[in-house]
C-alpha cells in the first residue's frame, strides 16, 4: 500500500507541476489556442526528461539530454515556451500528416495529441542513441503510434510524405529540396534557420516550389548534423581572444585585416537610445541585410578586457577591405542603453559612420516594425525572378530577406 501511495503521490505531483507550467505559458501568451493548451496538459514531459528532477522537467527551460566528449550539446528537449510557439505557428490540427526533424520524443508526442487518431506523426534523427531514447520514451508515455526513423533528414522521409507540416528542431544553414518537395501545397515548414549567422525560427508556407515566411522568431537550437551541417569560418584578430566569425566563406580581404585592432580607432555616437533588457532583434537583422561584409566579433571578455570597447549582443560587425566596425554602447541609466559604433582600420571613420547611419535608419524606419519577409527559392532561380532584398545563396537554395 505504501508503494501504491507513493506512485499515486508522484503522479499527483507531476500533474500539478504540469498544470503550473501550462498556466505560466498561458499567462505569458506563449500558448494562445485551446488545442495546444490541451496537448501540453496531456503529455507528461517528465517521462521524456528522466535525467532531471520533476521540478526541472516542468520548468520553462531546455533540458540537455546528450553531449559530445567536449561537452557540446548534441540533443535536448527544447524549452516549453519555444515548443508552444512553434506548434501554434505550424497550426498542427486533427488529421494532419506531420514530420519532425530532430527527435527527442516530447515534441512528437505533443504533435500526436494535436493530430489525433486520424493524423500521422513521423520523427527522424541521425543519431541512433537519440532515436532509441525517443522510441523508449514515446512508448513509456503511451505514444507508440509515432513513427520513429533513423536517417539523415537531408532527404526528409519520403516513405510517409507528403506532409502538411514539417517541424525542424535543429539549427539549419540551408533548406534541402526534400523539405520543400515533401510538403503539400500550402503546407508549413517551421525551421530554425541561420540567416547570416543569426538564429531565427521561421515559419514558411509552401507556394508551389518556393517558400514564404509567415513569422520570424528569435531562438536558438543545437546545430544540424550530417549532410546539412555547416561550420562557421573564424578569423582570429588577436590570437584566440578576439575573432571574427562569418556565416559563409571568409572575405577575399581577410588577409588585409591582420593587425586591424592596432590601427587608429573611430568612435561614432548613433544617438539611438533603447531600453535595457529588451531584444533589438530587428536591428540585428537589419544590419545583417545592410552590409555585404556582415559578421560577428567574438571577444573573450576575461582575456581581452580593456583591449577594445565592449561589444553589444552577438558582436554585430561589418568589414570592408582592411577596416572593421562593430556595434557597442553604454548604459544611460538603469532603464536605457545608448548605441555607439567603434571602427578600426584605414577607413575606420567612414565605415563606422556608415554603420551608425544604418542604426539610425533602423531606428527611424523599422524599430517598431514587423521585421523582414523571408522567402526561399530553388538554387537555380535567376536574379530576375527573386524579390528585392538581401540574397543569401546556399548550397540548395537562395534565401531572400525583404523589408517593408
| The three cell numbers locating residue 112 | 500526436
Report how far residue 226's alpha carbon sits from residue 204's, in angstroms, rounded to the nearest whole number.
Answer: 23
Report how far residue 38's alpha carbon sits from residue 142's, in angstroms, rounded to the nearest whole number.
Answer: 16
Strands 97-101 and 120-125: parallel
DSSP 8-state class, residue 269: E
| The three cell numbers locating residue 87 | 506548434
CA atoms within 13 A on the CB side of 189: 33
Whether residue 78 lies in the annotated active site: yes
Q: Are 245 and 234 in contact (CB under 8 A)?
A: yes
Per-residue three-class SS string for 182-245: CEEEEEEEEEEEEECCEEEEEEEEECCCCEEEEEEEECCCCECCHHHCCCCCEEEEECECEEEE
The candidate with the shortest Cα–Cα distance to 125, out of 135, 110, 115, is 135
Report how far residue 170's alpha carbon sits from residue 27's, in angstroms, rounded to the nearest whole number.
Answer: 27
**What is the three-class DSSP state of 158?**
helix
Report how far residue 202's alpha carbon sits from residue 159's, in angstroms, rounded to the nearest whole number.
Answer: 25
**Cell numbers 543519431: residue:** 127
Q: Which residues contact 354 (CB under 8 A, 6 or more apart)?
A: 325
Tell me the angle at which helices 80-90 and 2-27 cross, rounded to the nearest 10 degrees.
Answer: 60
- State the DSSP H helix or E strand holding residue 101, giving kind and residue range, or none if neither: strand 97-101
Report how far residue 293's alpha carbon sits from residue 319's, in angstroms, rounded to the nearest whole number.
Answer: 5
Strands 163-168 and 97-101: parallel
Report how far residue 5's alpha carbon sits from residue 140's, in angstroms, rounded to the nearest whole number.
Answer: 20
Catalytically annotated residue among 75, 76, 78, 397: 78
Residues labelled as active-site residues: 78
Amino acid at each position: 500500500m505504501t508503494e501504491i501511495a507513493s506512485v499515486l503521490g508522484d503522479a499527483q505531483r507531476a500533474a500539478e507541476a504540469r498544470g503550473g507550467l501550462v498556466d505560466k505559458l498561458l499567462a505569458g501568451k506563449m500558448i494562445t489556442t485551446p488545442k495546444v493548451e490541451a496537448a501540453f496538459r496531456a503529455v507528461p514531459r517528465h517521462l521524456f526528461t528522466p535525467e532531471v528532477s520533476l521540478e526541472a522537467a516542468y520548468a520553462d527551460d531546455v533540458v540537455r539530454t546528450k553531449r559530445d566528449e567536449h561537452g557540446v550539446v548534441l540533443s535536448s528537449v527544447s524549452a516549453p515556451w519555444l515548443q508552444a510557439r512553434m506548434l501554434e505557428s505550424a497550426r498542427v490540427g486533427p488529421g494532419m500528416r506531420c514530420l519532425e526533424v530532430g527527435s527527442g520524443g516530447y515534441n512528437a508526442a505533443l504533435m500526436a495529441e494535436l493530430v489525433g487518431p486520424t493524423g500521422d506523426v513521423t520523427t527522424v534523427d541521425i543519431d541512433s542513441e537519440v532515436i532509441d531514447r525517443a522510441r523508449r520514451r514515446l512508448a513509456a508515455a503511451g505514444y507508440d503510434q509515432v513513427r520513429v526513423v533513423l536517417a539523415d533528414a537531408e532527404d526528409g522521409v519520403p516513405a510517409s510524405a507528403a506532409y502538411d507540416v514539417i517541424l525542424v528542431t535543429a539549427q539549419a544553414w540551408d533548406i534541402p529540396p526534400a523539405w520543400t518537395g515533401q510538403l503539400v501545397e500550402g503546407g508549413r515548414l517551421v525551421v530554425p534557420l541561420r540567416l547570416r549567422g543569426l538564429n531565427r525560427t521561421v515559419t514558411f508556407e509552401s507556394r508551389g516550389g518556393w517558400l514564404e515566411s509567415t513569422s520570424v522568431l528569435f531562438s536558438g537550437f543545437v546545430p544540424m548534423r550530417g549532410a546539412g551541417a555547416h561550420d562557421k569560418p573564424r578569423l582570429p584578430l588577436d590570437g584566440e581572444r578576439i575573432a571574427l566569425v562569418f556565416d559563409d566563406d571568409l572575405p577575399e580581404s581577410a588577409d588585409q585585416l591582420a593587425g586591424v585592432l592596432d590601427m587608429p580607432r573611430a568612435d561614432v555616437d548613433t544617438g539611438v537610445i533603447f531600453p535595457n533588457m529588451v531584444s533589438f532583434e530587428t536591428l540585428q537583422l537589419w544590419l545583417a541585410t545592410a552590409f555585404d561584409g556582415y559578421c560577428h566579433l567574438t571577444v573573450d571578455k576575461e582575456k581581452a578586457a580593456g583591449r577594445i570597447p565592449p561589444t553589444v549582443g552577438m558582436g554585430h560587425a561589418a568589414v570592408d577591405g582592411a577596416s572593421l566596425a562593430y556595434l557597442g554602447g553604454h548604459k544611460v541609466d538603469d532603464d536605457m542603453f545608448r548605441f555607439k559604433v567603434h571602427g578600426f582600420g584605414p577607413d575606420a571613420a567612414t565605415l563606422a559612420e556608415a554603420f551608425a547611419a544604418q542604426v539610425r535608419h533602423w531606428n527611424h524606419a523599422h524599430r517598431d516594425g514587423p521585421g523582414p519577409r523571408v522567402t526561399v527559392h530553388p538554387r537555380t532561380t535567376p536574379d530576375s525572378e527573386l524579390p528585392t532584398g538581401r540574397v543569401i545563396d546556399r548550397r540548395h537554395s537562395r534565401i531572400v530577406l525583404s523589408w517593408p
